[in-house]
Structure 1
Amino acid sequence: MQTIVTDSPEEAAGYLNAGGIVAFPTETVYGLGAGICHPEAVKKIFRAKGRPADNPLIVHIPKPEDIDTVAREIGEAARKLIRHFFPGPLTLVLKKSGMVPPEVTAGLDTVGIRCPSSIIAKSFLGFCHCPVAAPSANISGRPSSTSWKAVLYDLEGKIDCILKGDPSDIGLESTIVDCTGAQPLLLRTGAVTIEELQSVVPEIGTAVISSNDDEPPKSPGLKYPHYAPVARIRLCATGGPVAPEADTSSAWIGLTQPHASAAFAIVRQCGTTGEYARILFDFFRQCDALGIDTIYCELPPDEGIGRAIRDRLTRAAAGR
């Protein structure tokens, strides 16, 4: 298969409307989309990524009001979150409508739904004939793609088209809140923080994620290893180790300079947690391209988007 790269949202949507799969930019990370009206195309996403079939996909809509076409039983808490955070980097898990096929939801009666704020994503989704199911556009388990070049590296020849846009503004996947129970629950941290969510819906809690292998997860990012580069990940406190492991090629990323700056092949000091989030996955990919053995990652403060960075780092370390 030849993978077409285009900067035209309308051209990219044409491939999707014909039953193809298309990578497209959003403010969080690049997504790999198929129209939910094409269940066979949805299956192609799983094959292209090597993604487990019981890992559900998020449905993307161009306008907040389109949520009523893909969801039912939308309660007041969900409506408040939609009014405050759509469009934006928030996914809500809701009861699915009959329009959403089981291929999207791993057979569950619920579906994650997001309305991106990215201008190019909204334009692309507007040209699509139906809502778009899309996980991150990368090989399953590896760092998410935050640029079209990263998508091409992972998926060239496996997908129909890449819609070329700027690098992702946020760099981490969306926050996910489950609104199907008596109490809304935070399933995955992201750029929309728990503090911001609770300022709108104070009763939002934090879910305890089940590790039951027989139970499909309600949203992506909860069951399988994610975000891991080829290099080993070592999590560090401020300043990191006095010296990296001997006989390894090592890199550092964090908010401070490491104690042993001269011992690292690459040192990336981020000015803010926002910058840390934005460049993290791209840094992982750079290190792999350079043959780095070990990446030392400073854990940021456990607040704001720092919580989301810590979550991704912990999962990446577990994946290795």
Structure 2
Amino acid sequence: MLSDQLKIAPDSVERAARTLRAGGLVAFPTETVYGLGADAENVDAVERVFAVKGRPSTHPLIVHLSGAHQLPDWVVEVPDAARRIAERFWPGPVTLVLRRARRVPLAVTGRLETVALRVPDHPVALALLTAFGGGVAAPSANRFGSVSPTTASHVREGLGSDVDYVLDGGSCAVGVESTIVDLTGEPAILRPGGVSREDLEQVLGGSVPVRGKSAVRVPGQLPSHYAPRARVLLVEPGQVLGLAEHLRAQGCRVGVLVPPEFAGDAGSGAGQRVIVVPDSHARYARQLYEFLRDFDRHGCEVIVASVPVPDGLGLAITDRLRRAAGPRG
């Protein structure tokens, strides 16, 4: 049973579904990060999501569904590329951007005529979506622009009583957000994520470009996003330890993400907090946000890191680190 498998209270899912039906906000786990969910057809509830996060109203939300069978209810048409991706990757960490059906409020889409949809690959999320029966609009369950939450405790630390109910499903298995694919024209990736570009190209049988800019707004496109309190500096792998030691000698409290190939060179003098990056992209993605939070907990002022080779999940990790290092207002 679900409750036995994840050690959640038997009535937790139904309580969460009741909260959504009543117009409340529920934080729930997915395989990527925790989401802050509202009934996607309740405009007041959706607007409260934006208010709680401090999120611009023009920044669209992703609607989460219980299965691909619901897709035709939320879009004008389902092109062949969407069917192929859904058949291969749903439930899973890929979001499809399509033309919205009339039932989708413009409050969800940032006033655009497109809607972003996905089916999460997490038993608790799917149980909640099935019990609720409709679509749940949900960005990450954190304040806008900050590090995304991958545990229920992260949600409670960040949002506190602003969430009506937190559904605890353990740690997220993927750890970075879903890949967002624009299917309103030729397929294109608008945000790298948990499904790789290579896997998408294999399913679609052709090249799928990554667009840095697009007329279609989607989550995670701002230059600064996913950012810890500490300033993030990105350099070449061979320069990480040298820069960290230089900054520490100047009196900075430095956090260091050491590339695995330089692990043997990382001494205690490299920084206030030194973390060796896993040699697997999957493990790195799963732990990335926890690493950034760890540096903040240790009072680091600066984080020195490099980006991995941008293939597979490395593309998503690179995207998150570059936005974490982006200019802040």
TM-score (norm 2): 0.90
SS at match of 1:52: coil
5 Å-filtered alignment, 1:238-253, equals: 238-239=237-238, 240-242=240-242, 243-245=245-247, 246-253=250-257
Partner of 1:192: 195
Partner of 1:266: 273
Partner of 2:211: 208
Question: Does the 8 A contact of 1:228 with 1:319 survive in 2?
Answer: no
Structure 1 residue 165: Cα displacement: 1.3
Q: Aligned AA for 2:272?
A: A
5 Å-filtered alignment, 1:291-310, equals: 291-310=299-318
Distance 1:278 1:319 in 2: 25
Structure 1 residue 88: Cα displacement: 0.3
- Give unpaired runs (5+ residues) of structure 1: 1-5
Task: Name the count of aligned residue pairs.
Answer: 310
Question: Does the 8 A contact of 2:95 with 2:180 survive in 1?
Answer: yes
Counterparts in 2 of 1:272 and 1:210: CA distance versus 1, 3 Å: closer
2:125 to 114, 121, 124: 121
SS at match of 2:55: coil
Counterparts in 2 of 1:33 and 1:319: CA distance versus 1, 3 Å: farther
Q: Which runs of 4+ in 1 moved over 4 A?
A: none
Greater strand fraction, Structure 1 or Structure 2: 1
Partner of 1:3: none
Counterparts in 2 of 1:88 and 1:157: CA distance versus 1, 3 Å: same
5 Å-filtered alignment, 1:18-29, equals: 18-29=22-33
Counterparts in 2 of 1:233 and 1:283: CA distance versus 1, 3 Å: same
Partner of 1:161: 165
Distance 2:315 2:140 in 1: 20
What RMSD over aligned residues (CA atoms) do the two structures have, in Å? 1.7
Question: Does the 8 A contact of 1:17 with 1:129 survive in 2?
Answer: no
Distance 2:307 2:322 in 1: 9
Structure 1 residue 254: Cα displacement: 4.0
Structure 1 residue 210: Cα displacement: 3.3
Q: Aligned AA for 2:148?
A: S
- Give unpaired runs (5+ residues) of structure 2: 1-7
Structure 1 residue 198: Cα displacement: 0.5
Question: Does the 8 A contact of 2:224 with 2:327 survive in 1?
Answer: yes
Greater helix fraction, Structure 1 or Structure 2: 2
Q: Aligned AA for 2:286?
A: R
Partner of 2:5: none
Q: Aligned AA for 1:277?
A: A
What CA deviation, in whole Å up to 9, does each residue of 1:267-292 have, x standing for no partner?
Answer: 22223111111111112112112211
1:316 to 279, 303, 324: 324
